[in-house]
Chains A and B, each alone.
Chain A
């Protein structure tokens, strides 16, 4: 594992989130019926930060939920690591809501497919929109993000690591290459 490049530092990351917050409000014409649901693990923290940004802009609180997609994965039998099931915590109804699904990196699109299946089990939102901090390409399913922090063209043998204060002690996005 070798760190190749830093794509976003702390300031750039926070500027991206603030811009996405503005875009979410613009597209949905305010905070009415709006809610944020982050995909575990880092998507949850990003969703909480987006809610803080929205509060700064509009002065309104937006409900934030956490979604664990482990039980909806299509590769449960293929992964060699132990799948650890975490809690899904959505304490509000999503019927007729505008749900912003939040994740750190958009890659194959399979996580988002699983998240959409999971969300539909919770109700029938008016619309689901997708916000990601990084879109690194290489889609295997027809999935597209509505809000993107940064598009980063990558090779398949590279990984994009999003590090957040809450989980990793600092905010940054780096590209890591698996091969020397």
Chain B
């Protein structure tokens, strides 16, 4: 019998994954992309399964993307926003998880403001946990869809140069992208004002610069991160206009970059802060394609963790 390539009941981050596992998610996602181009955008692969979106932080695009992905696989979807749930009454994360398990749900998609929350939940429940962002730690499906989009645009990941520009310190998107891209052989540069570069980022395999023109020079792609002003409690952030002047991606800056450089942004965009409107809407921008690809990647992840968990349960009953 073939070796199983994907054996994990959870997707918690890209740091733990092998290159083969990441490539398997991406190749499965390629097949799922076609489903969304059909007139009837639905396949029966997760019929009878229940996916619970458990969001401790506000999110529209990630939650909607997971919801669309689950529904295109014929799963039932329940959304729990914690502002209106028993979490307000003091229920712990593990109790919430066990209650969802008692409802016989199959997958929890969770966003949480604490790093490591998804991993802790996954240890305490038998159902599958998909990390939709935990604190500053990881946001694996965002990085997977970024990499998927890059592969589609550039044909490969091995050897390409990707610069991640913006608030690296507070960014789980940056961390997941660095893990994923370096495992697949890309060269990653991170670029931000010095105070927004976390210590130890070089050990993850990324080059560091605070010069945006240097980051753009020779890059095949840039991933421009959102300035998360809502997270800035210490007022360490530069003023918005000052940031745009020094780090904002403009057509003028791009004149010195590669002509066909790929411009990505995980959304939502602060126009006129991280990049100009002309760049966001320009020919090099793949921002809306990222949204479309996000559905295929999340379908792939939901399908693979559900399959793996079925195998784990079957093996347990066989023992």
Contacts and interface: CB of A to CB of B under 8 A. Distances in A.
A11 to B, nearest CB: 33
Given A77-B310, A85-B31, A121-B38, 8 more contacts: A68-B31, A71-B43, A71-B45, A72-B43, A81-B1, A82-B4, A87-B31, A89-B34
Main secondary structure of the interface of A (DSSP, over half): loop
Contacts of A118: 43
- The size class of the interface chain B forms with chain A is 20 to 34
A76 B300 CA distance: 15
Contacts of B40: 121-122
A86 interface: yes
Contacts of B96: none
A82 B311 CA distance: 10
Contacts of B39: 122-123
B307 interface: yes
B200 interface: no
- The size class of the interface chain A forms with chain B is 20 to 34
Contacts of A71: 35, 43-45, 73, 303
B34 A117 contact: no
A121 B35 CA distance: 10
Nearest to A80: B1
A70 B46 CA distance: 12
B28 A84 contact: yes
Given A71-B44, A72-B43, A121-B38, A86 B31 contact: yes
Contact of A82 (B6, B32, B34, B44): B6
Contacts of B6: 82
Interface string A132-155: 000000000000000000000000
Nearest to A85: B31
Interface in B5-50: 5-6, 28, 30-32, 34-35, 38-40, 42-45
B259 interface: no
B2 interface: yes
Interface string B294-317: 000000100100010011001000
Contacts of B45: 70-72, 76
Nearest to B308: A82
A81 B44 contact: no
B314 to A, nearest CB: 7
A84 B307 CA distance: 11
Interface in B266-319: 300, 303, 307, 310-311, 314
A167 to B, nearest CB: 16
Contacts of B307: 76-77, 82-83
B310 A88 contact: no
Given A87-B31, A89-B34, A81 B2 contact: yes
A75 B152 CA distance: 32
Nearest to A83: B307
**Which interface residue of A77, A81, A85, A122 has the most chain B CB atoms within 10 A?**
A85
Contacts of B28: 84-85
B2 A82 contact: yes
16 contacts: A68-B31, A71-B44, A72-B43, A76-B45, A76-B307, A76-B310, A77-B314, A80-B1, A82-B3, A82-B5, A85-B32, A87-B30, A87-B31, A121-B38, A122-B39, A123-B39
